[in-house]
Amino acid sequence: MFKKLIAGLVLIAGCFIGVSYYVSMPVVDGVHEDQSVVIAVPSEALTFARTDRALILVTAHEGDSLRGINLTAIHGDDATEDLFRFLEIVGASSLWETDAALESFSIDELIQPANYSYPSVAAGTNFREHAEEVYSDDPPFLFPKLVEAGSWNQTVPFVSRLDFEAEICAFPLGSIRPNEPRPRFGFVLCNDFTDRLSLVREIDLDEPLGRTGFATGKGCIGCLPTGYLVVIPKDPDFYRSISAELFVNERRLQAFSLSEMILSLDEIVDKALNDADMLYQQGDNTIPLLPSDHIPKGTLILTGTGAGVLFKPLNIWGQQFYLQAGDVVRTQATYLGHLSNRIE
C-alpha cells in the first residue's frame, strides 16, 4: 500500500512538472536578425533623441548610428534642456518645417530623451492573448509602477523569478485633468520587468486584481528601462501602427501590435482619472494610483504587453523558467528603436 502511495505521488509530481514545462513553451519562434530601423515619416510624427550635449530631431537610423538635426545648435542649451519646455516654446508644428544640416550620432551616446514623471501608471492584461496565458478572465486593470524610468541600455539587477514585458509607453506633453481638453501624447519603448515571486507572495486573490502584489512585484529596482527615441505623432491613433518584439539571448519570445489593445489609450486615461485615489498595497503601505487628481505632464502610461511572458501560474515553483543572470533581453518596436538590458 505504501509503495502504491509513493508511486502515485511520483506520478502526480511527474505530471505536474511535465505540464509546467509544456505551458512554459514559447508562443512565438524565431531569432533576432539585424534590420534597418524604420523612423516615422516626419510629416506624420517627429522623432527625438538626446545626447549629453544635444537634443536631436532624428531623420534616419542606420545600424548603431542616427542622423538628424542638432536642435541645441540652433536653439541653444537653455531652450532644449527639457523636451517638454522646448515643445512649449517652439511648438511641434514649426518643427515639421525644420530644414538644417544633418549630423551623425552613435547610439552609445544617447541618453533618456525626456524627463518622465514619477510614478508611472500601467495597464494589466490589456492584450487578450496575454490574459489567456496567465489564466485571467478579469477585464484590464491598472496599477502604479513605482520605480524611476531608466536608460535603454542599463543593466537589470537579478532577482529570483525575474520576468519581462515588452511595452509601449505613452506620455502626455501636458497635464491631463478631468473634463479638460487633452494634450498631445508622445511614445517611447519600455520594458516592464517584474519580480514575479514577490508579486505572487503578496497578491490577495480576494481583492480586485492589481490592488495587491503588483505595486511590489513591478517596483523592483532597475525594472523600467526606457528607449533612446521618443515619437510625437500628429494623429492621436498613430500608436495603433506600432508593433513590438522581444528577444532573450537572440531568441524571439514576444511579438504583438498595439492594434490588439483591449482598452485604447483614451480609455486607459479615463480609467486612471476615475481611479486616481484608489489604494494599492505595497508591503505594509498603501499607495494611490495617482499622486493627485490629475495625470502630471510626462507620466509614463504603460499600455500593456502581448503574449509570451515567462510567468505561468503552474511554473512559479521553478527558477529555470525565468530570466537568469547573464541573460540579455532585447526589446524593439516600430519607429522606437530598441532596448538592450543585461541581467546582472
pLDDT given at position 96 = 72
Q: What is the pLDDT of residues 223-281, one digit of tens each?
A: 999 999 999 999 999 999 999 999 999 999 999 999 999 999 999 999 999 999 999 99
The H or E element that residue 74 is part of is helix 71-75
Query: Angle at Cα 74 formed by Cα 71 and Cα 80, nearest 5°?
Result: 50
Residue count of the chain: 344
pLDDT given at position 293 = 94
pTM score: 0.94
Grid coordinates belonging to 162: 525575474
CB 234 within 8 Å of CB 45: yes
Q: In this structure, are strands 251-257 and 279-282 parallel, antiparallel, or unpaired? A: unpaired
> How far apart are alpha carbons 214 and 122 in whole angstroms?
10
Spatial CB neighbours of 94, under 8 Å, sequence gap ≥ 6 = none
Spatial CB neighbours of 193, under 8 Å, sequence gap ≥ 6 = 156, 162, 163, 164, 165, 220, 222, 223, 224, 225, 341
> How far apart are alpha carbons 269 and 290 in whole angstroms?
11
Task: Sketch out the chain's domains with CATH numbers.
Answer: 45-109 (no CATH), 117-342 (3.90.850.10)
Mean pLDDT by 10 residues, the chain (344 residues): 47 65 78 83 95 96 94 95 94 77 95 97 98 95 98 98 98 96 96 98 95 97 98 96 98 98 98 97 95 96 98 96 98 97 97
* 4, 10, 241 from 1: Cα distances, Å: 5, 14, 63
The H or E element that residue 19 is part of is helix 2-23
pLDDT given at position 12 = 52
Q: What is the mean pLDDT of the chain?
A: 93
